[in-house]
Chains A and B, each alone.
Chain A
Amino acid sequence: MENNPNPSKVSAPALIGRAGGESGRQLIVSALDHGTVIDHIPCDRLFEVINLLHLQEMTSKVTIGFNLKSSKMGTKSIIKIADRFFTDEELNQLSIVAPNVSLSIIRDYEVVEKKQVCLPDDLRGLVRCNNPKCITNNEPMPTLFHVADRQRAIIRCHYCNHEQNINDVKLV
């Protein structure tokens, strides 16, 4: 199923491994030759990841697996995006909704880089302030948050100074 020209190197993960088995049924999802794989997405966060990266607006091939078995997580989701490499800034946005995803950069069917996301110092236009009396909730303007305490995952609104935990945030 995977077309790996050099078996000694790490091959890019196919979306569905060896499917079908004895039954002979197979869901064929071709391996990625160039692009980005986002693995270990919690299933309840999949659609937020899609929104954050604006995948619905992409023209290249995007393969999404939902409710897949995972030994680490029980169930997980995975997204493969062909011919698209994201900036660290774009990928680090994911830290808000799915801080533990695994990112693989694929070139010529090979994983050339693996990455983790990390919480950026500033979050612009991503998160809603949980203070109803904050100007950002009452004026057409982008929100801005600064990380106040990285260890406790606390972010602070640039405008009204209210703090909230990153795990409780609502996206804009």
Chain B
Amino acid sequence: MNRSLVTIANHSREKIEYLLQMAQEFERHPNRLLLQGRVVATLFFEPSTRTRLSFETAANRLGARVIGFADPKVTSGTKGETLKDTIMMVSNYADIIVMRHHLEGAALYASEIAPVPIINAGDGANQHPSQTMLDLYTIYQTQGTLDNLNIYLVGDLKYGRTVHSLLTAMRHFNPTFHFIAPDELAMPENYKQYCREQGIRFVEHQDFDSDVIAGADILYMTRVQRERFTDLMEYERVKDRYLLKLDMLSKARPNMRILHPLPRVNEIEYAIDDDPHAYYFQQARNGLFAREALICDALGITLEQVQEDKTIL
């Protein structure tokens, strides 16, 4: 059985909850020797320091050893080697491959040819399942449930891979989504159609103020990137409209938490960092636990084995 993780779009509610439970075990005891003797390869055909460090930390804290490359310039790909050849070669050395690639579908293809499991650490604009898992884990951790939540998505909803994956993964949990974005970066019609088909309620807003976000359980901020705009005047006009300021939290629910996939540029005022609603740094920390769970699951280690693990340090 191919245990690769390419996408969580097709994961059932049960499978998502299973992985969240496993992540919770790792939050309790992140340091173990569960993967002692194993080799994890991290192949970053496209640089992504944050994601790579998170995966490598997860492997290291479970006792595995890590090989790989962080920069595509040092690989044979620049000499014209195919992805297949690189994957087949590394499969001889490692028990599992974590890969990031700028081409869409690269991880799925690798999972079809590799004799070892593949974890997709991002393939272009397509999928980034470990980000979605850590988002789900953070929502679960802060709200105590994934069910019946009001989730507000703010910023770039057109190109934002993370918001699309989150939307898809939340379909099992009866959410209400609120989309807050400039026209140029509005949620694409095919995702709104998806919501209608799945019975997911959604509301669209143009304004972004304390009244609009007063009903939020989760305020998920994303970066509005200048390069997404064809009209730079339009960018200048809207960029500050989707900036979250401290005084906008005056009517926020006590349980509301602000998430952001990071890196942040200017979407969240720095004064908010010390506010109890701010949760984006803890969210990034959860990436470690989520990735420990994903690596173990891909290697065939079960929740039961994690719960009865005697290698806790």
Contacts and interface: CB of A to CB of B under 8 A. Distances in A.
Interface size class of A (residues with CB under 8 A): 10 to 19
Given A161-B104, A161-B126, A135 B109 contact: yes
Interface of A: 131, 133-136, 138-141, 157-162
26 contacts: A133-B103, A133-B124, A134-B103, A134-B104, A134-B105, A135-B83, A135-B108, A135-B123, A136-B105, A136-B109, A138-B103, A139-B84, A139-B103, A140-B84, A141-B84, A141-B109, A159-B104, A159-B105, A159-B108, A159-B109, A160-B104, A160-B126, A161-B104, A161-B105, A161-B126, A162-B104
B226 interface: no
Interface string B149-160: 000000000000
> Which 10 A-B residue pairings sit nearest by Cβ, starting from the closest?
A159-B105, A160-B104, A135-B105, A160-B105, A135-B106, A135-B103, A135-B109, A133-B124, A133-B104, A139-B83
B82 A157 contact: no
Contacts of A160: 104-105, 124, 126
Nearest to B125: A133
B87 to A, nearest CB: 10
A140 B85 CA distance: 11
Contacts of A133: 102-104, 124-125
Interface in B96-132: 101-106, 108-109, 123-126
Q: Which among B83, B104, B123 has the highest number of chain A CB atoms within 10 Å?
A: B104
A138 B124 CA distance: 13
Contacts of A140: 82, 84
Contacts of B84: 139-141
A146 to B, nearest CB: 13
B206 to A, nearest CB: 28
Nearest to B103: A135
Contacts of A131: 104
Contacts of B101: 135
Contacts of B109: 135-136, 139, 141, 159
A22 B83 CA distance: 66
A18 B105 CA distance: 55
Interface string B66-102: 0000000000000000111000000000000000011
A29 B106 CA distance: 51
Contacts of A139: 82-84, 103, 106, 109
Nearest to B9: A161
A162 B108 CA distance: 14
A140 B82 CA distance: 8
Contacts of B82: 139-140
A172 to B, nearest CB: 16
Contacts of A134: 103-105
A111 B144 CA distance: 70
Nearest to B108: A159
Contacts of A158: 105, 108
A135 B124 CA distance: 10
A133 B108 CA distance: 14
A133 B126 CA distance: 10
